[in-house]
Amino acid sequence: MIKYLLQLADNALILGHRLGEWCGHAPEMELDIALTNIALDLTGQARSLYQRVAELEGLGKDEDDYAYLRDAWEFRNALLVEQPNGDFAHTLFRQFVFDAYNYHLHQALTHSKDEWLAGFAAKSLKEITYHLRFSSEWMLRLGDGTELSNAKLKAAIEDLWGYSGELATPNDVEKELAQQGIIPDLNLLKPAIEAKMSEVFVAANVGVAAGMFMHIGGKDGRHSEHLGFILSEMQFLQRAYPGLEW
């Protein structure tokens, strides 16, 4: 259970971190505010999840110990969320893939046998529903907009598609929890996620080549090179001046 909660928390933390990198640099000022809002939602979710992990572990750790004092191999986020922002099409497509998965996941998690998790999911679902609406609409804007934006979106899909499969491919932790009825069977969620994605793809006039290789490993701590750099920036103060209150 703890491993799974860390998976959820790390996804939210790392994606929120990436979105925070946009702050002050977005394509339009209104988008600065929108992206920051999503970053705030995700970072807030990560915080609740780490607090829950601390409670379950009972080792006297706090939320920041998990975010700031673990090394890359202990992080359990999917590879997708640590991918660099790239241009706005990359950021947006990464967000859309994550939101489509996250929305269906949290919808199912509201029925979890674990009361805390069900409550957390119900609360987060409201935020995630909005995220999916935002990213779906922007998929259409970029896909349907101009020739240039369509080409950029296609390039982003090409670059990131290989990281889109991991989210809904169950690892051992997820298989076990699914059997216990604590989380949904991801294989059963897949059709709904794929339906949403293809609906948006068609409307956005983009597609993907069939049979592209799908990378996995992030959820079990095997990451891309990017995560180490994220952590060295994020954890700098906590590492340089250990044990202080900020």
Partner 1 sequence: MTSLNFEAIFQSKIDDEVKIEPKDWMPDAYRKTLIRQISQHAHSEIVGMLPEGNWITRAPSLRRKLILLAKVQDEAGHGLYLYSAAETLGADRDDLVQQLLTGKAKYSSIFNYPTLNWADIGAIGWLVDGAAITNQVMLTRTSYGPYARAMVRICKEESFHQRQGYELMMAMAFGSPEQKSMAQDALNRWWWPALMMFGPHDAESTHSDQALKWKIKRKSNDELRQNFVDVTVPQAEYLGLTVPDPDLCWNEERGRYDFGKINWDEFWNVVKGNGPCNRQRIQARTKAYEDGAWVREAAMAHAEKKEQRRMQPEAASKAA
Partner 2 sequence: MKKEWPLWEIFIRSKSGLNHKHVGSLHAADAEMAIENARDLYTRRNEGVSIWVVESKHITASDPDDSDPLFEPARDKVYRHPTFYTVPDEVSHM
**DSSP output for the chain:** -HHHHHHHHHHHHHHHHHHHTTTT-SSSHHHHHHHHHHHHHHHHHHHHHHHHHHHHH-SS--HHHHHHS--GGG----HHHHS---SHHHHHHHHHHHHHHHHHHHHHHTT-SSHHHHHHHHHHHHHHHHHHHHHHHHHHHHHHS-HHHHHHHHHHHHHHGGGSSSTTS--HHHHHHHHTTSS--HHHHHHHHHHHHHHHHHHTT----TT------GGGT---THHHHHHHHHTHHHHHSTT---
- Considering only 3, 61, 68, 190, the residue that binds partner 1 (CB under 8 A) is 68
Name which position in 1, 3, 20, 228 contacts partner 1 (CB under 8 A). 20
Which of 1, 37, 61, 125 contacts partner 1 by CB under 8 A? 37
Say which entry of partner 2, partner 1, none residue 134 contacts (CB below 5 to 8 A, set by partner kind).
Answer: partner 2
Q: Is 115 in the site for partner 1 (CB under 8 A)?
A: no
**Residue 179 near partner 1 by CB under 8 A:** no
Instruction: For residue 236, state whether it binds partner 1 (rule: CB under 8 A).
Output: yes
Binding partner at 199 among partner 2, partner 1, none, C-beta below 5 to 8 Å by kind: none
Complex with partner 2: residue 41 or 82, whichever CB lies closer: 41
Taking the complex as a whole, the smallest distance from the CB of residue 147 to partner 2 amounts, in Å, to 15
Instruction: Select from 118, 122, 144, 155 the one that contacts partner 1 (CB under 8 A).
Output: 144
- The residues that touch partner 1, with contacts defined as CB under 8 A, are 13, 17, 20-21, 23-33, 36-37, 39-40, 43-44, 46-47, 50, 63-64, 67-68, 87-88, 140-142, 144-146, 148-149, 152, 230, 233-234, 236-238, 241, 244-246
